[in-house]
């Protein structure tokens, strides 16, 4: 089989050399907004007569490179856009195959490092101490230290379990913790720590279910860190310490599925890893599949189907946003000369899940397919793999059902853009009430609006309320009178659940309600989760009454946004 090339990395490929271990020493300078330190990389040659190697860097200042106590020559190549600059290091001796060498690189990060966000005391809850956090996925570890910044290379970092560079993380701030389980602490600024402990109190139950589904939890501790609002994702599965957004603090534990998702990454993503970002669906599709099984065990099989159908709606939205022929709607993408951050969407999550859910139904049901999933984790633990590796193992595991697998249109599922060729079957029990209420609003005439009242929602859970808005949003815009009446009878503006608030404000802006403009601008800027911030800014920019204000607000807040969020919102608004 030809070598898989990671087109997002400029470093020597794993077939030439492999970083086996990282020992990082660094100091934090909040005044200059830099990290200064030394990365000691233990590198193993994968071929004979290795005389030089190349590492990924991005916006780093290199002071010196030392091998065996002596400085050696190095050269930084030209900057290649989002990929950064290749750093070639000359070795003092030619290495033979499997020979190891320790390379000590003294470096300093840039104040504009795309991997780091620096917060002033005023931007924190406590208002007293500054705060720093990192976010390396997908290709930002190179903006902290020189490395082979590819998921195909796993290394230890004074730890027992090897991880790819994108899972290296750090945080510096005034933090407190609370114990919420036998192997879990929740960390945050003191102003949020009690809320966080309550919100995530079911973590141990989720961990136990995940172990039953995927096998032993190998990482020891499972802690949670609730970050400041500017954190750009719902969660990040850094081993032993999951980073999560404070937008999950709904007060009723209703958004805890994100914790189930990050827990699931301990098996699919962190143990079994996509070899390159072209195969990102292997990380995310399997993780969503496990996440929904965890929630199904906690809240029932009908709830698993309810979430699965909601995910199908999210996939429809992504395909609609990109366009049904856009290459980013393929499950396996080609990221040659494409920044993975630009390609990021719900597609690898939900199209990947849909494929696994379809295979579950095709091959005999959830228990049978969970058997495959556990065997898959056992087979590929501590490895980085491709879609072909996954598919070959699928055929090997179900060798008595090859004729069934051959019925799958693999080319359409894996390599064709748009929605999948087949929609799985879903139990509609919990979704029907959401659809029915949404349809009432969609078909209602002005004379019908008085028929709606607050009791419409009395039997709906917060999850169903969110799905009602998601269903209605797919048919936006609604007449402005409908939106005003909806606020009058349901008072959505008073709801703090971030998912509900997000969909409600999008519905308002798409339906051109000017009163919602300041509320939408506030949500777009008071937190930085890209799932919320990017669509809100795009909707505001598309509304003539708020376009200029959206651009102006972005420019005013750009400096305080996470670097990745600022870059992508700028692209969305066409101002950068």
Residue span(s) of the chain under CATH 3.30.2010.30 come to 176-263
| Number of Cα atoms under 13 Å in the Cβ half of residue 549 | 17
Task: Please pick, among 104, 189, 262, 499, the residue that the annotation labels catalytic.
Answer: 262
Residue span(s) of the chain under CATH 1.10.390.10 come to 273-415
Active site residue 262: yes
Q: Please give the structure tokens belonging to residue 463.
A: 């999850």
Look at residue 40 and tell me whether its pLDDT is greater than 80: yes
Known binding residues for a peptide are 135-137, 232-237, 529-531
CA 236 to CA 225: how far, in whole Å?
Answer: 10
Active site residue 108: no
CATH number assigned to the domain with residue range 176-263, chosen from the 4 options 3.40.50.720, 3.30.2010.30, 3.20.20.120, 3.30.160.250: 3.30.2010.30
Look at residue 181 and tell me whether its pLDDT is greater than 90: yes
Print the SS3 string covering 319-335: HHHHCCCCHHHCCCCCC
The answer to whether residues 366 and 293 touch, using CB atoms and an 8 Å cutoff, is yes
pLDDT digits (tens, 9 = 90+) for 226-237: 999 999 999 999
Structure confidence at residue 164 (pLDDT): 86
Q: What average pLDDT score do residues 504-529 get?
A: 98
Tell me the three state secondary structure of residue 403: helix
Of 74, 76, 60, nearest to 108 (Cα)? 60
What are residue 75's DSSP bridge partners? Answer: 88
Q: What average pLDDT score do residues 182-196 get?
A: 98
Q: What is the CATH number of domain 17-172?
A: 2.60.40.1730
Band of residue 3 on the pLDDT scale cut at 50, 70, 90: confident
CA 565 to CA 568: how far, in whole Å?
Answer: 5
Of 64, 142, 144, 70, nearest to 101 (Cα)? 70
The answer to whether residues 89 and 52 touch, using CB atoms and an 8 Å cutoff, is yes
Spatial CB neighbours of 239, under 8 Å, sequence gap ≥ 6:
159, 161, 163, 167, 219, 266, 270
Give the N- to C-terminal CA distance of the chain in Å, as an integer.
42
pLDDT digits (tens, 9 = 90+) for 111-154: 999 999 999 999 999 999 999 999 999 999 999 999 999 999 99
Structure confidence at residue 549 (pLDDT): 98
Residue span(s) of the chain under CATH 2.60.40.1730 come to 17-172
CA 196 to CA 142: how far, in whole Å?
Answer: 32
The Cα angle at residue 276 between residues 214 and 112, in degrees rounded to 5: 110
Look at residue 576 and tell me whether its pLDDT is greater than 80: no
Place of tokens 């139950």: 205
Band of residue 159 on the pLDDT scale cut at 50, 70, 90: low
Place of tokens 């060498």: 101
For residue 421, whether the previous peptide bond is cis, meaning omega lies within 30 degrees of 0, is no
Count of residues for the chain? 576
Q: What average pLDDT score do residues 176-196 get?
A: 98
Strands 34-45 and 17-29: antiparallel
Percent with pLDDT over 70 in the chain: 99
The answer to whether residues 143 and 58 touch, using CB atoms and an 8 Å cutoff, is yes
Axis-axis angle for helices 280-299, 301-322 (nearest 10):
150
Rounded to whole angstroms, the maximal C-alpha distance in the chain is 85
User: What is the pLDDT of the chain when averaged over all its residues?
Assistant: 97
Could you please report the per-residue DSSP string of 199-244?
HTTTHHHHHHHHHHHH---TTS--EEEE--TT--SSEE--TTEEEE
CA 492 to CA 505: how far, in whole Å?
Answer: 9
Look at residue 553 and tell me whether its pLDDT is greater than 70: yes
- CATH architecture assignment, domain 273-415: Orthogonal Bundle (1.10)
Known binding residues are 135-137, 232-237, 261, 265, 284, 529-531
Residue span(s) of the chain under CATH 1.25.40.320 come to 430-573
Task: Look at the alpha carbons of 140, 144, 148, 152 in this order and tell me if their dihedral is positive or negative.
Answer: negative
Q: What average pLDDT score do residues 170-186 get?
A: 97
Residue 283 CA to its chain's centroid (Å): 10
For residue 477, whether the previous peptide bond is cis, meaning omega lies within 30 degrees of 0, is yes
| Rounded alpha-carbon distances, angstroms, from residue 369 to 170, 251, 295, 358, 373 | 36, 35, 17, 10, 6
Task: Please pick, among 131, 344, 349, 554, the residue that the annotation labels catalytic.
Answer: 349
Q: What average pLDDT score do residues 254-262 get?
A: 96
DSSP 122: G
pLDDT digits (tens, 9 = 90+) for 352-410: 999 999 999 999 999 999 999 999 999 999 999 999 999 999 999 999 999 999 999 99
Q: What average pLDDT score do residues 175-189 get?
A: 98
CA 66 to CA 39: how far, in whole Å?
Answer: 10
Could you please report the per-residue DSSP string of 322-384?
H-TT-GGGSSS---TT--HHHH-SSHHHHHHHHHHHHHHHHHT-HHHHHHHHHHHHHHHTTEE
Look at residue 26 and tell me whether its pLDDT is greater than 80: yes
DSSP 161: S
CA 38 to CA 206: how far, in whole Å?
Answer: 38
DSSP strand E in 11-136: where? 17-29, 34-45, 50-57, 61-67, 70-71, 74-76, 85-95, 100-108, 116-119, 131-134
DSSP 25: E
Rg of the Cα atoms in the chain: 24
Structure confidence at residue 1 (pLDDT): 60
Q: What average pLDDT score do residues 294-304 get?
A: 98
- CATH architecture assignment, domain 430-573: Alpha Horseshoe (1.25)
| Rounded alpha-carbon distances, angstroms, from residue 519 to 451, 494, 508, 543, 557 | 27, 11, 10, 14, 16
Helix or strand run (H / E) with residue 258: helix 257-264
Q: What average pLDDT score do residues 499-520 get?
A: 99
pLDDT digits (tens, 9 = 90+) for 281-290: 999 999 999 9
CA 430 to CA 463: how far, in whole Å?
Answer: 10
Q: Please give the structure tokens belonging to residue 504.
A: 């409600």
């Amino acid at each position: 089989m030809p070598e898989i090339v990671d087109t997002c990395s400029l470093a020597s490929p794993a077939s030439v050399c492999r970083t086996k271990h990282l020992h990082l020493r660094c100091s934090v300078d909040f005044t200059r907004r830099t990290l200064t330190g030394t990365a000691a990389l233990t590198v193993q040659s994968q071929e004979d007569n290795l005389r030089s190697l190349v590492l990924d860097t991005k916006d780093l200042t290199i002071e010196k490179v030392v091998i065996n106590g002596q400085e050696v020559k190095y050269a930084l190549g030209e900057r290649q856009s989002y990929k950064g600059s290749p750093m070639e290091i000359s070795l003092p001796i030619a290495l033979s195959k499997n020979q190891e060498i320790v390379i000590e690189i003294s470096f300093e990060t840039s104040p504009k490092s795309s991997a780091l966000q620096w917060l002033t005391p005023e931007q924190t809850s406590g208002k007293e101490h500054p705060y720093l956090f990192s976010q390396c996925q997908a290709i930002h570890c190179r903006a902290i230290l020189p490395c082979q910044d590819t998921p195909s290379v796993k290394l230890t970092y004074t730890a027992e379990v090897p991880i790819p560079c994108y899972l290296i993380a750090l945080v510096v701030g005034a933090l407190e913790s609370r114990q919420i389980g036998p192997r879990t602490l929740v960390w945050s600024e003191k102003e949020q720590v009690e809320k966080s402990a309550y919100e995530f109190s079911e973590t141990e139950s989720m961990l136990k279910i995940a172990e039953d589904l995927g096998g032993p939890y190998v990482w020891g501790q499972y802690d949670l860190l609730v970050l400041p609002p500017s954190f750009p994702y719902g969660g990040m599965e850094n081993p032993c310490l999951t980073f999560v957004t404070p937008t999950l603090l709904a007060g009723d534990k209703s958004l805890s599925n994100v914790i189930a998702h990050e827990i699931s990454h301990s098996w699919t993503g962190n143990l079994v890893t996509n070899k390159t970002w072209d195969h990102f669906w292997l990380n995310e599709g399997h993780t969503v599949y496990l996440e929904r099984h965890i929630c199904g065990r906690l809240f029932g099989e009908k709830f698993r189907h309810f979430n699965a159908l909601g995910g199908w709606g999210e996939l429809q939205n992504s395909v609609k946003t990109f366009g049904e022929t856009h290459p980013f709607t393929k499950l396996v993408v080609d990221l040659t000369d494409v920044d993975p951050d630009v390609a990021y969407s719900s597609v690898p999550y939900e199209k990947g899940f849909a494929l696994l859910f379809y295979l579950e139904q095709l091959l005999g049901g959830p228990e049978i397919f969970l058997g495959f999933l556990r065997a898959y984790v056992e087979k590929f633990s501590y490895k980085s793999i491709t879609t072909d590796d996954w598919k070959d193992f699928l055929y090997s595991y179900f060798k008595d059902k090859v004729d069934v697998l051959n019925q799958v249109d693999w080319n359409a599922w894996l390599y064709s853009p748009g929605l999948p060729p087949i929609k799985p079957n879903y139990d509609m029990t919990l979704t029907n009430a959401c659809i029915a209420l949404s349809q009432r609003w969609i078909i209602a005439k002005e004379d019908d609006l008085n028929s709606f009242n607050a009791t419409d929602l009395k039997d709906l859970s917060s999850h169903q309320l969110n799905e009602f808005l998601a269903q209605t949003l797919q048919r936006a815009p609604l007449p402005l009178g409908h939106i005003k009446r909806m606020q009058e009878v349901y008072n959505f503006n008073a709801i703090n659940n971030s998912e509900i608030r997000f969909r409600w404000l999008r519905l308002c802006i798409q339906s051109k309600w000017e009163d919602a403009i300041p509320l939408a601008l506030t949500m777009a800027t008071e937190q930085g989760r890209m799932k919320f911030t990017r669509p809100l800014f795009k909707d505001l920019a598309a509304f003539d009454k708020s376009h200029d204000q959206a651009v102006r607000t972005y420019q005013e807040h750009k400096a305080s946004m996470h670097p990745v969020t600022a870059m992508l919102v700028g692209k969305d608004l066409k101002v950068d």
